[in-house]
Amino acid sequence: MAIPLAAVTWRLRQTRLPRLRGRCPACAAASTFDPTGRFRVNANGKIIDVWLLLRCQGCGRARKVTVVERSPVRSIDPALLRRYHDNDPGLVAEVLLAAPLQQRNRLTVDWDGAWVLDADPVPGWPGRPVTVRVDLAAAIPVRPLRLVADGLGISRAAAERLWADGRIRSSTRLDTRTSSGFSFTLDDPGPG
């Protein structure tokens, strides 16, 4: 009779909003920007502009990034407009991660330090096979192999060796970014 595999669940959760990287117009350098959590809304007659406000870590100056540009006020859903005026934190996160915002303003998302992996110890490992499920509480793009290494408390190179040796098996590619949950089976690493 086969012994069932031990199982454990790890959770990746967001600890803060990610930062954005781009060129700061004030200090004329490549910089990292923290979201302030605020929008600026300007309606001039029948036309509306909306910006998300960021703060440069280098010089501390504010930067406006375009969210809505020169659009008819009536084209904006009143509930959405209210969320802009109320600086809705959920809307700030949605806008921050929207590809059009990043492309239009030449920014990239920096997730470093914006998440934490809650990884319970793997029972019986090394020594016997274990199945680990990784749940992502937020759609954070991360390489699964990095989470495996962090969760096991080993180097990324050691995790890559285990994967290359077939001691880590998964139906998910572990070497490309994913923003959804996955699972893997971890075999005994053996000697060495």
Q: Which residue's structure tokens are 């016997």?
A: 128
Residue that is last in its domain, among 70, 90, 110: 110
The answer on 82 and 126 residing in a single domain is no
Instruction: Please state the pTM of the whole predicted model.
Output: 0.74
State which H helix or E strand residue 79 sits in.
helix 78-85
User: What's the mean pLDDT in 145-171?
Assistant: 92
Q: How confident is the model over 71-98, as pLDDT tens digits?
A: 999 999 999 999 999 999 889 988 888 8
Long-range contacts of residues 102-107, Cβ cutoff 8 Å, at least 24 apart: 102/20, 104/65, 104/66, 105/22, 105/65, 105/66, 106/22, 106/23, 107/20, 107/21, 107/22, 107/33, 107/65
The answer on 131 and 99 residing in a single domain is no
The answer on 182 and 105 residing in a single domain is no
- Domain presence at residue 35: yes
Q: Output 65 or 1, whichever has higher pLDDT.
A: 65
pLDDT confidence band for 45 (50 / 70 / 90): confident
Report the 10 Å Cβ neighbour count for 64.
16
pLDDT at 2 over 70: no
- Domain presence at residue 34: yes
Domain residues for the domain of 92 are 19-110
d(CA 54, CA 33): 6
Please tell me the predicted confidence (pLDDT) of residue 122: 81
The answer on 153 and 166 residing in a single domain is yes
Please tell me the predicted confidence (pLDDT) of residue 1: 43
Q: Length of the chain in residues, anyone? A: 192
- Domain presence at residue 27: yes
Task: Beginning with the edge strand found earlier in the chain, give each strand of the sheet holding 182-186 in spatial order.
Answer: 115-118, 6-14, 130-136, 182-186, 168-169
The answer on 33 and 10 residing in a single domain is no
The answer to whether the CB of 67 falls within 8 A of the CB of 48 is no
Amino acid of residue 149: A
Please tell me the predicted confidence (pLDDT) of residue 57: 92
d(CA 138, CA 8): 19
pLDDT at 125 over 70: no
pLDDT at 192 over 50: no
